[in-house]
Structure 1
Amino acid sequence: MKEPQSEKIEEPEQGCKGPQQEAEDGGRCVRPEASGGGVKSPLPPPETQEGSETHECDAATEILPQEMFSAVVAEMKASMQVAPKVAWTTTIAELYARVHDTVRVEEALIPGGKQRYPKLKGEEKAELYKLFRELCVVTEGTYKEWEEYAVAITQKLYNTSWSFKNIVLRMVSKVKWVKTQPLNQWATKIKSGTLPAGKRTTQV
């Protein structure tokens, strides 16, 4: 005598709602991947033991942007009269890319000619190097200041019709202007004789 076969209960596909939930939503079955608004799992995808070890090793050896910043600034300060090295421009471009990726941008509104960013061309890397040198090496700006400038560049890049190169050129001029303002004010006070008595310089 054959044993009665148990009925196979079909479960809803992964990502779909159950019958009760479908009824409440008008019978629609919304898959997270199709809607574009699904919640991604915070856990990494399953990996083999070897792949998992590689992933952990990469995470442990990943260099923080602040460390990259400090290293390239130190090298540039030690070689102020040396022409820009490829390693420097590459590192600065990477630092910009990391900040760029933290800025919220409506991808659907990005013009076709600007969709390649944060990838930079040779001339763009050269201009970004000039800004970095002026801001972080010459005037000894901090990583936070560099980050603020990089965010401003990204926002102007997508909110205006200006090119990356023109935006950075304007930024370089701004940094130089800010740097010369205290000197100009000091010179004006000296000429007008408005310096406090204790701060007057004695001519030899």
Structure 2
Amino acid sequence: MRQASITRKTRETDIAVEIDLDGTGKADIATGIGFLDHMLDQLARHGLFDIRVKAEGDLHIDMHHTTEDTGIAIGQAVARALGDKRGIRRYAHAYLPMDEALTRVALDISGRPFLVWEVAFDRPKIGDMDTELFREWFHAFAQNAGITTHVETLYGENNHHIAESCFKGLARALREAVEIDPRSSDRVPSTKGTLGE
């Protein structure tokens, strides 16, 4: 079973994450940030991952630490659940339309983390959440999952739709990238024989 649990406790946050990459899309998310909960619920449901996140953070300061540390913990859980990555498809992409917005997400589960983020918002907040924090979450996730991650919103006007298309696009691409390839289920998908070195 490709499952993992991560706990991360600092002076700023206390986070527990559980993930099952071969789940059914069950989500139990409580970060204290309503819009982030909504986005992580989309990640679970559209990726068909079972995800549980319980986070307590210094929200009396702002949402930065909780957002970033949640990305770190979920990324670490994905990396741990993947193990040696044997049999996965490794590469995947998704074009995700959300009404007038369209976002492209392309992934390489390479073990070499990198984020390309070409997403613009014209409002500083969605609900109570700062729009600049979406990049922080994706950066933390990519770095800790060991995934090369390209996210580009090709066009869009509604900030909610733009953000949601990024998370749903990640969900769909990640779902495909972590799937076991029946034509190569016993091999690590690299000519090196290992990923991340």
Query: Shared fold by TM > 0.5?
Result: no
Higher Rg of the two aligned structures: 1
**Which one has a larger percent helix, Structure 1 or Structure 2?**
1
Given the two structures, how large is their TM-score scaled by the length of structure 1? 0.28
Given the two structures, how large is their TM-score scaled by the length of structure 2? 0.29
